[in-house]
Structure 1
């Protein structure tokens, strides 16, 4: 179980309503509701208070793989145990960071930021080379990344590679840009992929564009590839309607 499920189960075990739990912790009922829905996480002090109230460890609350709560200690939670719990939860929220001493202008050459719990803008890695949960740099690598060259789950950049990529040139399962390449590609000018939609040229299994090449294609100029279509035929067709097309892009 995750934290939200454990909190709901513990509250019901004690016969408390969300309002009653909120009163005990000094928070609003909406806060408790968000914790139980997974929309938010309580701060450190509230997690410790929850562990004391329900007589479970902080480990049990925050670590999904721990399914059974530890038996309560006799006489309540000791000071040493509380200190241990604070250290455990501090590690959970801790940000690991490192910046190189070499700097270019105001930015470190390399900036690394990893937080163990969630994506927070204040924990963004910013550098010429940036690596982290959220990364911004000339070369950026992260869950969310933005840069000249950007690689991540969600990436934005001049050249963007990611599960969801936005860029001048974007490559990924879902790619959006001037040039977009991927299973689902949306290009302002050019797009290539399984499903390709573009303002100028779209090439794909299903293609929609001013000039469209594909098994199913829709546009002003259409070439259906069929069984016998060759690369040379495609190049000839594209040059016929776009004679100034950049040659490396044509071959690609």
Structure 2
């Protein structure tokens, strides 16, 4: 049994999350035990995977099957090269290192917000 999902942009979801993981079509196909041409057809919208393949695909991509099927996720495009490169690097790290980087980013953000607040306070006093 196959389900037709190209109307809801299943193809774009697969492509987006594959690229987010930094994989080629061939690499994703190998992880699934499928051919590169099968993944290519899914991403071009000319074919849809079997239901059992959707579950495997979502597990490999690290997302819920609902996201692939119903597109319940917002596709967030990186706004610049720095963010894009950061995402690529983060995808390659283990969870512990990802948490370290996230904590550092939170610290830097808090510092920037504090500096901004001080500038605003100084400007209002002047």
Distance in structure 1 (CA, Å) of the matches to 2:73 and 2:9: 9
Residue segments in structure 1 that go unaligned for 5+ positions in a row: 70-252
Which of the pair is proportionally richer in helix? 2
1:186-225 to structure 2, matched below 5 A, reads: none
Instruction: State the number of aligned residues.
Output: 68
Residue segments in structure 2 that go unaligned for 5+ positions in a row: 1-7, 76-126
Partner residue in 2 for 1:2:
9
Distance in structure 2 (CA, Å) of the matches to 1:22 and 1:67: 23
Distance in structure 2 (CA, Å) of the matches to 1:57 and 1:3: 13
Distance in structure 2 (CA, Å) of the matches to 1:57 and 1:10: 11
2:73 to 67, 76, 82: 67
Superposition RMSD on alpha carbons, in Å? 1.6
Query: Offset at 1:67?
Result: 2.6
1:64-213 to structure 2, matched below 5 A, reads: 64=71, 66-68=72-74
Q: Whose relative contact order is higher, 1 or 2, with alpha carbons under 8 Å and at least 6 apart? A: 2
Distance in structure 1 (CA, Å) of the matches to 2:40 and 2:9: 15
1:27 to 3, 28, 34: 34
Query: Offset at 1:54?
Result: 1.4
Bigger Rg over Cα: 1
Q: Any runs of at least 4 consecutive aligned residues in structure 1 with deviations exceeding 3 A, and if so which?
A: none
1:33-77 Cα offsets, whole Å, 9 max, x none, are 00000001111111001111111111110113x1338xxxxxxxx
Distance in structure 2 (CA, Å) of the matches to 1:15 and 1:67: 19
Which of the pair is proportionally richer in strand? 1
